[in-house]
Structure formats: C-alpha cells, structure tokens
Structure 1
Amino acid sequence: MSSMNSHGESEDLQPVHVLFFPFMASGHMPPLVDLAKLLASRGVRATLLTTPGNAPADLPPSIHLYLIPFPSAAVGLPVGIENIAHLPIHQHPNFIAGVSMLRDDFRVALADLRPDAVVADWLLPFAAPVADEFCIPRFTFHGFSNIALCGQVSHFCQPLPPPSSAASGAEEELTFVVPNLPRRIEMLRSQMEDLNAVPAEAVKFIEEIREWEMRSYGVVVNSFYELETEFADHVRQVIGRRTWHVGPVASYDPKPAEEAHECLEWLDESEEPVLYVCFGSMGSFTAAQLRELALGLKACGHPFIWAIRDAADVQQWWPDGDSERREEKRYLILKGWAPQTAILNHPAVGGFVTHCGWNSCLEAISAAVPMATWPIFADQFFNEKLITEVLEIGVPVGATHCSLIPERRPLIAAAQIEKALRRLMDDGGEEAKSMRTKVRELALMAKKATEEGGSSYDDVDKLVSDLRDLKENGMQQH
C-alpha cells in the first residue's frame, strides 16, 4: 500500500515537473523564481530555464537550473549583457531580437527535459507554439496586477479611441474611459501607449503576444484575490481566462534583512518618518527632472533615502552641488542596488515614491507603506489607478505621459512634487491617516492570503492539483 504525504498524495507517484521560463529583466526574474520556489515547496519538481548571465546566485537545491546561451553577439550587443535592464533604450529592439532567437534552444530544452508543464513569461510568446509541438500545456505568468491585465487586454484588442472634435490640437491632454472594465477608469490618452505609433516590428511582437496569450492553458497571477476582487472576477468571468491568484509570491519566502547595509543603520537612527524613493531598474529621468525631484524632496521637510539607478553624475544635477553632504543626515543617496524589501519593512519608513511597478506595489502593500505614484510606462499607469483611486492608499505625483524615453515626458516641477509628498506624509491630515489605516488593513489581508487556509495559499494548492490532473489525464480532459 502506498504511503501518503502531507498533501494527501501518493508518495509512489512521480512529482509533476514544471519548467519555469522568465523573461530576462530585473522586474520579471524574481517573481517567477519565487513562484518556482513556492511550487517546489508543495512537491513540484521545478526547473528554471534561463541564460548564464541571469542565473540566480541563491537558487535553492530544490530547483534545477537549465542554462541556454544568449546570442548577444548575433544581435549586436556586448557579450555578457543578458538582461534588458542593463541596456540603454535604443538597444532594446536588439535585445528582443536576441530573445526571439532563443526559440530553438527552448525547443531543445523541452526535448531534453520533457516537463509536464511550462510556466513562461508573457513576453516570451514563442514559448507557446513550441510547447504545443510537444503537447505540453503552457501557463502564462504576467507578473502584474489584475487591473493591468484587464486594461492591457482592452488596450491590445482595440486602438485608442479617436479624439473628440473639441480637441483643439491638445490631443495629448484628452481623457477617455478605458473600455470593458468593471468600474469607470478614466485616463489621459498620453498615459496609454499609442499602438498606432510604435515600429512595425514592435506591432508584430505585440500581435504575437496577443495571439498566444489567449491560447495558453491559464494565467498565474502574482496578486491576492482580496486586493482587487472586482478585477479578478472580471478576468475570469468576462475576459474568460483561467487564473490562479498566488501572491504576493515573495511573502512565502521573505528575504532576510541585510543588517549590515548602511541604509538600515541610517534608518535606525531616524527620529522622523522617512521617505523611500526608487523607480526600479528601468526608470530613468533627465537631469532637469532629477533636479526638480531633489528640490521637491528637500522642500517637503522629511528625511529620505533615494536609490538611484544611474548615480554616476549626481553631482551634475544635485541642487547644492554636493550630494554627499547629507545636511545633518537628512538624506541618504544609494547608488545602484538597494535592499528594498528590508527598507520598506523598516518601522522608520513612512512613504514610498514609486514608479508603480507591480513588484514594488506589492512590497509596499505587504509592508503597510502608502505610496506617492509616478508611473513611467507599460502597466504602471493602471497600477497607479488601483493604488490612488480604487484602494486609496497613495497620491499621484502627476505623471501624464507613458514613455521609457525621459525626454518625451513633461517636466514635473518641484512645487508639484512637494505638494504630493506633503499630502502623503502629513500625519495630522485626514487623508494621510485614512491611507495609513487602509494600507495596514491590506497588509494584514496579504499576510492572511498566503497563510494556510488563505485565498492565495488555497489557489497554490489548486494550481498544483490542476498540474497533477494535466499530467495524469492530459489536455483533452480540460
């Protein structure tokens, strides 16, 4: 008689083998690796497929690593640069071309490994037809919110509505209601990428994503049901996608605090609420905008930690010409990487100026930190709407244009930035009190969702069960 494990499964059965294939970007790799760890902890045999330059240094023994070469030289990129976050914007098309060339190596990996399922990033559309060749079910991992999934589906399926006759030449300032959403969401036309204005090769890439997205077996979502219930229901019931809400995936495997890092020691000494400022791995600004942001931060009256991606030329735009002076320890500049999770969870941090990348939003919510929102591109403007209008746990700084290119985004003045930060950090104001109360409630919900019996915990079990059914019965039963 076979013995049973803690999940009620026969230990004589071979575990389900899942191949995880992340897109090579700093915001895409960690959540899919966390998902692999999560499923491995539930008895899944997990293999991570990536390139040598993206291999995680701390991958646990429970996850097998399968490496394929990245064709840097073939697409005109420096050898060893295998992550899009390490490249200037003008080389992004080269990188996408290189990623597309991984199709054959992916095919070889499937032939070699013969996994029972593939969980691939949505930016790897070629994974779907190749998986189909082997009759392997492919799951999509988006790594963004349900509201963004609703909005992106709506946006990809139809172009921006035409401007009204009253535009008077100020087309970029016109607002429109995003169609086919469960509630009224109004956006500026300039906050949505105009698909009619992107290069032909980008349009082809988007069409390929659109085609294969709807043909995947389902979508694994790094969110929890209670956070955005109406949008989660809309994805399932109206858009018709099979989904599993398993997030926040990082909460199952919390990162240890880097106690020796200087910023945590600096926070320990703070006697006032501190602002944390970070725009992710791909958020860049003009020198003029950085200067306005520095002026706004200093004028708001709160100490701050600012993690700057490209900090080599800080002295050229810093208002007083000396970013190292720190004015009696009122601010700290972190050049490059920062221990973001540890910073947000430090009790001294009272607000987060963020680009609204979904990983950052989830980390702030889990740490009960309200946000000042400054989206830049992609799904970030939808996330801002969720944070500021739906959940009411943040204030918008005033970003109006969707573009990775800094020069295409209008300058936001220091006075406007200061005003938003004062709204966020004013402990005596009713708005700030309300935001802090709501974000604390959401943090508790996030914790409960990932605990045994919680919504995300149960959806992980459901995902593992569905994977097992697919392995045993095949796609025809579903």
Structure 2
Amino acid sequence: MESNPLQIFFFPYMAHGHTIPMIDMAKLFAARGVMATIVTTPLSAPLITKTILKTKNLAFKINIQTIKFPCAEAGLPAGCENVDTIPSTDMIPNFLKAVAMLQEPLEQILFEYHPDCLVADMFFPWATDAAAKFDIPRLVFHGTSFFSLCTSESLKLYEPQKNVSSDTEQFVIPNLPDEIKLTRMQLPNFGKIDEEKDTNKLLKEIKESDIRSYGVVVNSFYELEHAYADHYREELGRKAWHIGPVSLCNRDNEEKAERGKEASITEHECLKWLDSNKLNSVVYICFGSVASFTDSQLIEIAMGLEASGQQFIWVVNKSKHNEEEKEE
C-alpha cells in the first residue's frame, strides 16, 4: 500500500523578491513528489498561477490557497496587497498591521488541511506559533545567504558599531570565519539606532521566532559559502538546510524570464545584447522591486556606472513616486 505524499504549505511574503524564490522552492519540492500548496492573497494569485503554468515536469500540480488581505481593516487603500503597491512610506506601519492580521486566516487553513510542514517567510514571525497550535513544524525562509545570516546575527549580538566614534570609522564584525570590516554608514537604519520603532520590534520578533522554529531553509549551496553554513549551524547552533539555487528548477529561459514583473524589453533582446559582449564583462545591477529612487538619485547612480567604463544591465523599478515627480 502506497503511503500518502508529504504535503507542504509555502507562505511567501508579499514582495516579488520573496515570492519568486518561494515559488521556485515549491516547484523544487513538487518535482520530487511533494504536494505543494502556496498560500497567498487574491492580488498575487494570478501572477503565481501564471508562473506555475509555465513549469514542466512536476510530479504533482502546485495548489494555491488564497486568504483575504485586510486592506480596509488596516487603513490601506483597496488592492494594496504587495509592498510595491504601498502608496507612501507613511503607510508602511499600516501594511505591517495588515500582515499581522493574517495569522487568524492562516490558522484556519492549517486547521482545515493540516499539512506536514509550513515554510513561511521571515516576515511572518507569528507563523511559528500558528503552526505550533496544530503540531506542524515551521521552517523559516529569509531569502538571504548564510553569510548574511551570520553577519546580521553577530551585529545584533556584539554591536561593534557602538565601539567607534564616527560613522566613517571602520569596525570588525566579531566571531565570523573571516575579518569583515564595515562602517556605521554602511549599515541599514535598523542597525544604527536603539529606538523601539516598528522595524526594530519586528526584527526582534523575527529572531525569537527563528529560534523557536523547526529550522531555516537557505537559497544557497554548501560549496559557495561552506565556512558560513558550518558557522551558522555549529557556532550559532541553528538548524538549517541549503536548497539552492532554487532558480535552477526552471529549465528554460522563458520560465526564468517570466517569473516576476513584466520587463520593458524582451528576453531575446537582452540575451542578444549579452551575447554581443565578452564573457564575464557585464555587471548586473538590481536594487529589488521595493527600492524607490528619486530622479536625481537615479541620475547620480547612472553617472557613476557610466564613469566606471563597465558594461552593465541595470534593472530599474518604475515607481509611482518617480511618475509623480515627472508630472510636477
């Protein structure tokens, strides 16, 4: 008698840089006989469905479960279900509030289907408790490398940035396999301040949730950063599995090229231009779908890239903010 296949639920954060690798992860597991289900909101469901339909050679189809995103309840405009639809930075707390309100509908789905495992994004720290209610192991997906995880942990533990007298003075991040030097200017804002702001509180909750979870899945491979994979497990005592690069589950160029937003040029144009350049001569620049720059900032970056004399492909997000600037 055949045993029932494993059933894993995947719950990506509502941002393209988090959703795309989670879809790839679901494909990876489905290709190996796991019943994969992606939990998402109505706005994101069509994009995920479109991506899945282009995939070949899955042992099981990937299911999609939608849960209502509480825009109105959190004071967000209708349809604001993804980070790149947030109209202004003032609305970020509202978005975080809406995300926190997803715990109850997630629990309802977990109660109904009782999957064998839940893989949930780092930005859902409450998912560990939600899964624990039904004795379901929760795995955390950060979307970053072992190097990044180790570095962030050391900064939080030792706070070496507090031992320098200026923002430009270098400090060494302690307890790492290599000597890594930074300045306070190079740290993100939440690495510089002590205030109990929303972001800081969320990061604290994420860390506590990580420790209580079943473990972490990392979009990396051992040969790339073996020293940091070992450090994360042995020195920091965290359970972790490297399963990347998850993008390799996409076998042809079309699958890879059409996983996110629609580009302004076709993959064929891009590949043709790349083929016209020497091997290893082109730099790829991308700040992610969430980053928003003013026109003056974009011009400054462009001038720097041009001055470098290096051929490059630069992915620029067409944001509402930039459109408003042009209208003015």
Residue 265 (str. 1) matches residue 269 (str. 2): yes
Residue 183 (str. 1) matches residue 191 (str. 2): no
The residue that corresponds to 1:284 in the other structure is: 292
| TM-aligned CA distance change 1:266 to 1:84, over 3 Å | closer
What pairs up with 1:245-256 in 2 under 5 angstroms? 245-254=242-251, 256=253
The residue that corresponds to 2:32 in the other structure is: 42
The residue that corresponds to 2:51 in the other structure is: 58
Counterpart of 1:189, as a letter, is R
Counterpart CA distance in 1 for 2:21 and 2:181 is 29
1:141–1:219 CA contact under 8 A, matched in 2: yes
Question: How far is 1:74 from its partner?
Answer: 1.4
2:161–2:192 CA contact under 8 A, matched in 1: no
1:160–1:194 CA contact under 8 A, matched in 2: no
Counterpart CA distance in 2 for 1:300 and 1:162 is 34
The residue that corresponds to 1:240 in the other structure is: 237
**Alignment gaps of 5+ in structure 1:** 3-11, 318-478
The residue that corresponds to 1:90 in the other structure is: 90
The residue that corresponds to 2:16 in the other structure is: 26
Counterpart of 2:81, as a letter, is E
2:171–2:181 CA contact under 8 A, matched in 1: yes
| TM-aligned CA distance change 1:196 to 1:302, over 3 Å | closer
Question: How far is 1:59 from its partner?
Answer: 2.4
What SS does structure 2 have at the residue aligned with 1:290?
helix
| TM-aligned CA distance change 1:93 to 1:45, over 3 Å | same
Counterpart CA distance in 1 for 2:270 and 2:219 is 32
| TM-aligned CA distance change 1:183 to 1:41, over 3 Å | same
Identity of aligned residues (%): 40
| TM-aligned CA distance change 1:137 to 1:178, over 3 Å | same
The residue that corresponds to 1:201 in the other structure is: 198
What SS does structure 2 have at the residue aligned with 1:59?
helix
Counterpart CA distance in 2 for 1:294 and 1:140 is 36
| TM-aligned CA distance change 1:77 to 1:241, over 3 Å | same
Instruction: Mark the structure with the bigger radius of gyration.
Output: 1
What SS does structure 2 have at the residue aligned with 1:219?
strand
Counterpart of 1:185, as a letter, is I
Equivalent residue pairs, number: 302
Counterpart CA distance in 1 for 2:141 and 2:304 is 37
1:156–1:210 CA contact under 8 A, matched in 2: no
2:38–2:65 CA contact under 8 A, matched in 1: yes
Counterpart CA distance in 1 for 2:3 and 2:101 is 36
Counterpart CA distance in 2 for 1:133 and 1:81 is 29
**Alignment gaps of 5+ in structure 2:** 54-59, 259-263
Deviates more, 1:215-224 or 1:267-276: 267-276
Question: How far is 1:96 from its partner?
Answer: 1.0
User: What do residues 140-172 of structure 1 show as CA deviations (whole Å, max 9, x unaligned)?
Assistant: 1111100011112223335444234xx3xxx11
Question: How far is 1:64 from its partner?
Answer: 1.0
Superposition RMSD in Å: 2.7
Counterpart CA distance in 2 for 1:203 and 1:305 is 34
Counterpart of 1:141, as a letter, is F
Deviates more, 1:243-252 or 1:298-307: 298-307
Counterpart of 2:178, as a letter, is R
What pairs up with 1:207-356 in 2 under 5 angstroms? 207-254=204-251, 256-257=253-254, 261-262=265-266, 264-265=268-269, 268=272, 271-273=276-278, 275-301=283-309, 304-310=312-318
TM-score by length of 1: 0.58
What SS does structure 1 have at the residue aligned with 2:216?
strand
2:160–2:172 CA contact under 8 A, matched in 1: no
What SS does structure 1 have at the residue aligned with 2:176?
coil
Counterpart CA distance in 1 for 2:191 and 2:265 is 42
1:195–1:203 CA contact under 8 A, matched in 2: no
Counterpart CA distance in 1 for 2:123 and 2:298 is 30
